[in-house]
């Protein structure tokens, strides 16, 4: 039987019993050795402890053993017949956010400890926030010291309820709650007789059965070249580890930054050539063409490209002793590539305890913020939340060579005004929102909240994007009918309609398309401000235009919906005969044929119009709106 590997992180404060919990897991799974146990017994006795302090198994360095606190990330190992576990044991107190981020960066599961006597504290939230920020796919909330609250079910339920309220704001996915006592051993390895009201798994059972590999991306092939092997004139191989995706001989690939194309010749390992390599494999690739490739280059599949930019929007955790210095140039290490980078703007700081965003001039040790970066050479990246491996980086201070920040890429750089609440200005030069001079915004007599109260639902903008004929308008109209039946106020904006009036002066050249979308976005925003659910159906091929539409509606009220349909299906369907004309050249600048279409990077919903029926898709949309609390 294959033994699987699960890396998890633990966070909790000095008193939550985190070290004891780990000690308990090691002890109960018989992962400790007699000499280790004897050593700990001796130390405990010397210190005058009444019982053998299980926490001593994990408190590594002498300094912290003396101070009785863990001060750095320590790695622990234990195994059961099913799985090997690597624990990144991180301290929980405020000054060590950096350690928590470090431990979380490689983890697939986080255990957040809560002291049952104290309930949900600020730091329990901080741990959840960091776990979510680092995209750890599984969170376990271990409610510890149940023995000290007499295994009271209500106490447990109240804490679960409090924490649920909190994580609902976070976008956290799989959260599991387990009542335990690390000291006594309840529900850690063995089910407890003391919690008959609890029917869930023990902690170890959960760790042994939770889905692993969930944080890996097996779709997008990204191969950062680590090292070039050239043992002789006949062999030129590129050594590296697949950051994500899969690769097989014969695959068509493109190499960045050169942009040169080739095909995979072999996937070489010392154990023989492979039929396929997958995310996480360390292999050597050879290509069928002689291309100049060196360390730091990235090999990807043709047709599935990473983002490319030298202006990045990112969340960083500052880890340096010296605060971030805006006048300084840092080294940025991303996959196997190192470039120089300037932090051009500190957009805001996130208070890890309240999650509030505040404007800031500086980021200090253990602080997290959103920044805009400019690099000397473009990076080839994916967003962190779609690809941890190609969306992460560190900043290095060239003066000390220390790693001073951990970064997670959100996307291409945006302007601060675009991101701060209350401000509504887009960065793109193409769709800059300009204000006429001497015009002051007239505050409406009624505000949005009043309108929403009257309507009984919230306002929203649903932006349907997709190729011509992909079913955007069909679905949007069906949806509008369903919403009407539920007495929901709607507005429907569609490309063809608006081009007859408001946008009658615009053609299909790129700049006209941009202006078209700018006007539509403004109209949608007005409709939203009046409490409507605005349905917009536009091909809108450029991401930046859709980003603009998004930027003028508050977060959580804008839904980008990608009507996805195979191009070949569209060409066959071609209800208006447009594809035929485009293919024959009769229509110029036709999206998908002779003009580009940028598929949404992060749509709220993808509706596959060539797979599901319109009714099914409308059901999905209704569910999305209900989940988001709009209707």
Positions marked catalytic: 540
Contact criterion met (CB below 8 Å) for 73 and 9:
no
Taking CB under 8 A as the binding criterion, the range among 66-74, 473-481, 489-497, 582-590 that sits at the site for another protein is 66-74
Among 75, 190, 435, 611, binds another protein (CB under 8 A): 75
Among 47, 68, 84, 117, binds another protein (CB under 8 A): 84
Among 41, 49, 52, 60, binds another protein (CB under 8 A): 60
The residue among 177, 182, 173 whose CA lies nearest residue 198 is 177
Residue 270 or residue 443: which is nearer to another protein going by CB? 270
Please list every residue from 271 through 310 that binds another protein, using CB under 8 A. Answer: 271, 278-282, 284, 295
Instruction: Tell me phi and psi for residue 439, to 5 degrees.
Output: -110, 125
Among 210, 363, 389, 621, binds another protein (CB under 8 A): 389
Among 9, 13, 105, 155, binds another protein (CB under 8 A): 105
Question: Could you give the C-alpha distances from 589 to 130, 469, 538, 568, in angstroms and in order?
Answer: 45, 16, 15, 18
Helices (H), 344-465: 416-419, 448-455
Residue 159 or residue 319: which is nearer to another protein going by CB? 319
Contact criterion met (CB below 8 Å) for 111 and 177:
no
Please state, in angstroms and rounded to a whole number, the distance separating the CA atoms of residues 352 and 320: 17
- Greatest Cα pair distance, the chain, in angstroms, is 90
Q: Least separation, in Å, of the C-beta of 47 and another protein?
A: 12
Q: Tell me: does residue 69 bind another protein (CB under 8 A).
A: no
| Strand 605-608 with 558-564, pairing | parallel
Buried b (16+ CB within 10 A) or exposed e, 241-251: bbbbbbbebeb
Q: Tell me: does residue 28 bind another protein (CB under 8 A).
A: no
Question: Could you give the C-alpha distances from 397 to 315, 328, 331, 360, in angstroms and in order?
Answer: 18, 9, 6, 21
Q: Tell me: does residue 393 bind another protein (CB under 8 A).
A: yes
Q: Tell me: does residue 106 bind another protein (CB under 8 A).
A: yes
Please state, in angstroms and rounded to a whole number, the distance separating the CA atoms of residues 58 and 53: 10
Q: Least separation, in Å, of the C-beta of 16 and another protein?
A: 20
Question: Could you give the C-alpha distances from 352 to 140, 469, 597, in angstroms and in order?
Answer: 19, 46, 38
Among 2, 193, 327, 584, binds another protein (CB under 8 A): 2
Taking CB under 8 A as the binding criterion, the range among 150-158, 388-396, 474-482, 512-520 that sits at the site for another protein is 388-396
Taking CB under 8 A as the binding criterion, the range among 385-393, 488-496, 592-600, 621-629 that sits at the site for another protein is 385-393
Report the run of H or E that residue 32 belongs to, with start and end.
none
Q: Least separation, in Å, of the C-beta of 43 and another protein?
A: 7
Among 124, 392, 473, 474, binds another protein (CB under 8 A): 392
Q: How many residues bind another protein (CB under 8 A)?
A: 74
Residue 216 or residue 546: which is nearer to another protein going by CB? 216
Please state, in angstroms and rounded to a whole number, the distance separating the CA atoms of residues 508 and 457: 36
267 three-class SS? strand
The residue among 622, 630, 625 whose CA lies nearest residue 458 is 630
- In 180-251, DSSP assigns E strands to 222-224, 227-232, 235-241, 246-247
Please state, in angstroms and rounded to a whole number, the distance separating the CA atoms of residues 86 and 104: 12
Please list every residue from 219 through 248 that binds another protein, using CB under 8 A. Answer: 226-227, 229-231, 235, 237, 239-241
Q: Tell me: does residue 209 bind another protein (CB under 8 A).
A: no
Residue 294 or residue 354: which is nearer to another protein going by CB? 294
Residue 34 or residue 434: which is nearer to another protein going by CB? 34
Please list every residue from 313 through 372 that binds another protein, using CB under 8 A. Answer: 319, 331, 333-336
Q: Tell me: does residue 214 bind another protein (CB under 8 A).
A: no
Q: Least separation, in Å, of the C-beta of 363 and another protein?
A: 15
Q: Tell me: does residue 138 bind another protein (CB under 8 A).
A: no
CA-CA-CA-CA torsion sign (484, 486, 490, 496):
negative
Q: Tell me: does residue 4 bind another protein (CB under 8 A).
A: yes
Residue 86 or residue 158: which is nearer to another protein going by CB? 86
Among 218, 302, 447, 453, binds another protein (CB under 8 A): 218
Q: Least separation, in Å, of the C-beta of 386 and another protein?
A: 15
**Which DSSP letter does residue 293 get?**
-
Among 394, 462, 467, 524, binds another protein (CB under 8 A): 394
CA-CA-CA-CA torsion sign (211, 215, 216, 219):
positive
Q: Tell me: does residue 589 bind another protein (CB under 8 A).
A: no
């Amino acid at each position: 039987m294959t033994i699987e590997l699960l890396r998890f992180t633990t966070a909790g404060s000095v008193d939550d019993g985190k070290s004891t919990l780990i000690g308990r897991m090691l002890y109960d799974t018989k992962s400790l050795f007699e000499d280790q146990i004897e050593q700990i017994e001796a130390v405990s006795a010397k210190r005058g402890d009444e019982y053998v302090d299980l926490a001593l198994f994990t408190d590594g360095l002498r300094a912290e053993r003396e101070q009785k606190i863990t001060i750095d990330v320590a790695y622990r190992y234990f195994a059961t017949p099913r799985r090997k576990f690597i624990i990144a044991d991180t301290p929980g107190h405020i000054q060590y956010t950096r350690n928590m981020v470090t431990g979380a960066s490689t983890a697939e599961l986080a255990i957040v400890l809560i002291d049952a006597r104290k309930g949900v504290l600020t730091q329990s939230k901080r741990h959840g926030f960091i776990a979510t920020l680092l995209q750890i796919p599984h969170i376990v909330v271990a409610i510890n010291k149940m023995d000290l609250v007499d295994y009271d079910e209500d106490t447990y339920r109240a804490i679960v309820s409090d924490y649920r309220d909190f994580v609902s704001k976070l976008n956290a996915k799989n959260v599991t709650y387990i009542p335990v006592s690390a000291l006594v051993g309840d529900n850690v390895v063995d089910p407890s007789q003391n919690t008959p009201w609890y029917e869930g798994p023990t902690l170890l059972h959960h760790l042994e059965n939770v889905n692993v590999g969930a944080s890996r991306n097996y779709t997008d092939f990204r191969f950062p070249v680590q090292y070039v092997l050239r043992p002789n004139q006949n062999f030129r191989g590129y050594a590296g580890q697949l950051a994500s995706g899969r690769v097989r001989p014969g695959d068509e690939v493109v190499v960045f930054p050169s942009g040169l194309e080739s095909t995979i010749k072999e996937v070489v390992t010392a154990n023989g050539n492979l039929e396929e390599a997958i995310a996480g494999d360390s292999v050597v690739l050879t290509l069928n063409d002689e291309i100049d490739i060196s360390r730091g280059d990235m090999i990807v599949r043709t047709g599935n490209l990473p983002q490319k930019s030298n202006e990045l929007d990112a969340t960083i955790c500052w880890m340096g002793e010296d605060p971030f210095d805006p006048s300084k140039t840092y080294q940025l290490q991303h996959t196997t590539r190192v470039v120089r980078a300037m932090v051009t703007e500190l957009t805001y700081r996130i208070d890890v305890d309240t999650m509030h965003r505040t404007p800031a001039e500086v980021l200090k040790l253990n602080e997290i913020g959103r920044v805009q970066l400019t690099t000397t050479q473009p990076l080839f990246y994916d967003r962190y939340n779609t690809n941890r491996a190609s969306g992460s980086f560190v900043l290095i201070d060239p003066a000390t060579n220390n790693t001073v920040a951990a970064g997670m890429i959100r996307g291409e750089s945006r302007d601060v005004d675009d991101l701060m609440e209350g401000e509504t200005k887009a960065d793109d030069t193409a769709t800059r929102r300009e204000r006429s001079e001497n015009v002051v915004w007239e505050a409406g007599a009624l505000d949005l909240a009043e309108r929403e109260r009257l309507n009984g639902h919230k306002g929203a903008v649903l932006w349907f994007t997709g190729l011509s004929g992909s079913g955007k308008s069909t679905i949007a109209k069906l949806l509008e009918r369903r919403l009407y039946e539920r007495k929901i106020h709607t507005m429907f904006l569609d490309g063809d309609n608006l081009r007859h009036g408001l946008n009658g002066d615009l053609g299909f050249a790129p700049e006209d398309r941009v202006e078209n979308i700018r006007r539509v976005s403004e109209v949608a925003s007005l409709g939203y401000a009046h409490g409507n659910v605005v349905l917009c159906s536009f091909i809108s091929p450029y991401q930046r235009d859709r980003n603009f539409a998004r930027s003028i509606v508050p977060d959580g009220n804008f839904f980008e919906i990608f009507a996805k349909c195979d191009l070949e299906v569209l060409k066959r369907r071609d209800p208006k005969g447009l594809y035929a004309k485009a293919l024959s050249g009769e229509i110029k600048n036709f999206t998908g044929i002779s003009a580009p279409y940028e598929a949404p990077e992060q749509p709220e919903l993808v509706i596959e119009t060539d797979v599901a029926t319109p009714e099914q898709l409308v059901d999905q949309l209704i569910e999305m709106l209900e989940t988001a609390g709009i209707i």
